[in-house]
């Protein structure tokens, strides 16, 4: 094992509680296990503090009337209990932490509170997962000679973690107002609203209103159907499927499968 791989092993031990408890890691004898455990717990609380403050910022704004600050869960027994199984950045851990937050801040202070919690939870969960930290440039390589005609596009597939949210209230109209000064919480129009939440491979979370075309493509993009098959299944014309796939690719919701 070279030094870079050894460093990765230490990083994994700090991020991944089950690995940290494993005989494989403990057998290496690289570090003081007690100190590593303390530092790992410190890191976990820091890691999720940043995410809760960012993704639950609307619940933080509402804390003026609810007096329930989302980040308070980090000092509660539920979070301490999670630490034994937490894997920083993993989707299941993000989901578990987000559930602790929503259970704590849930209330009836605004009629759209339930939708708001689902929205914030979705943002936090979609953000989780491995990400590309640096581009190697291999994707940008260009041939030195005139290329052959392009092959047909590979089948599009939904990127894991992409989420479609069906809401009872039109949240996008009220979210900016929640972060502004107010004396009574702003109201949201009661109007069925569909949003798509996705993440780019570099980790940027994007949210957009989802049209019927987007919802259909999300439903049928399984990595097996070709673009033509997908258009037929979703009931879209060639121009519509191209535009929809372009929009979904831009926000990281869809990628084109290159496997066999």
Q: Tell me whether residue 136 or residue 260 sits nearer to another protein (CB atom).
A: 136
Q: Tell me whether residue 27 or residue 151 sits nearer to another protein (CB atom).
A: 27
Binding-site ranges for another protein (CB under 8 A): 2-4, 6-8, 10-12, 14-16, 29-32, 35-36, 38-39, 41-43, 45-47, 50, 53, 88-89, 130-137
Q: Tell me whether residue 35 or residue 142 sits nearer to another protein (CB atom).
A: 35
Sequence-ordered alpha helix ranges (H) in the chain: 3-15, 17-20, 23-26, 33-55, 57-66, 77-82, 91-105, 113-127, 175-178, 212-220, 227-234, 238-250
Given a contact cutoff of 8 angstroms between Cβ atoms, the answer to whether 84 and 140 are in contact is no
Rounding to the nearest 10 degrees, give the CA dihedral for residues 79, 80, 85, 90. 40
Q: How far is the CB of 34 from another protein (least distance, A)?
A: 9
| Tokens 């957009």, located at residue | 208
Given a contact cutoff of 8 angstroms between Cβ atoms, the answer to whether 15 and 87 are in contact is yes
Q: How far is the CB of 150 from another protein (least distance, A)?
A: 25
Q: How far is the CB of 238 from another protein (least distance, A)?
A: 33
Q: Tell me whether residue 111 or residue 182 sits nearer to another protein (CB atom).
A: 182
Q: Tell me whether residue 136 or residue 258 sits nearer to another protein (CB atom).
A: 136
Q: How far is the CB of 244 from another protein (least distance, A)?
A: 27
Q: How far is the CB of 44 from another protein (least distance, A)?
A: 8
Cα angle: 131, vertex 134, 136; to 5 degrees: 120
Distance CA 1, CA 209 (A): 48
């Amino acid at each position: 094992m070279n030094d870079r791989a050894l460093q990765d092993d230490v990083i994994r031990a700090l991020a991944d509680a089950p690995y940290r408890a494993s005989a494989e890691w403990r057998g290496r004898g690289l570090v003081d296990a007690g100190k590593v455990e303390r530092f790992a717990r410190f890191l976990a609380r820091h890691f999720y503090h940043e995410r809760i403050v960012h993704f639950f910022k609307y619940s933080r704004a509402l804390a003026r009337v609810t007096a329930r600050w989302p980040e308070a869960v980090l000092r509660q027994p539920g979070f301490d209990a999670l630490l034994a199984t937490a894997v920083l950045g993993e989707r299941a851990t993000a989901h578990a932490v987000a559930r602790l937050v929503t259970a704590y801040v849930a209330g009836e202070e605004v009629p759209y509170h339930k939708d708001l919690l689902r929205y914030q939870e979705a943002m936090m969960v979609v953000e989780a997962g491995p990400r590309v930290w640096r581009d190697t440039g291999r994707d940008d390589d260009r041939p030195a000679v005139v290329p052959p005609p392009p092959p047909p596009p590979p089948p599009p597939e939904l990127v894991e973690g992409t989420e479609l949210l069906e809401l009872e209230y039109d949240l996008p109209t009220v979210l900016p107002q929640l972060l502004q000064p107010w004396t009574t919480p702003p109201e949201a129009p009661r109007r069925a609203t569909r949003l798509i939440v996705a993440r780019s491979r570099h980790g940027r979370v994007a949210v957009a209103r989802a049209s019927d075309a987007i919802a259909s493509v999300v439903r049928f993009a399984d990595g097996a159907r070709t673009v033509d098959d997908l258009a037929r299944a979703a009931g879209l014309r060639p121009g519509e499927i191209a535009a929809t796939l372009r929009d979904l690719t831009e926000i990281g919701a869809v990628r084109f499968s290159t496997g066999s």
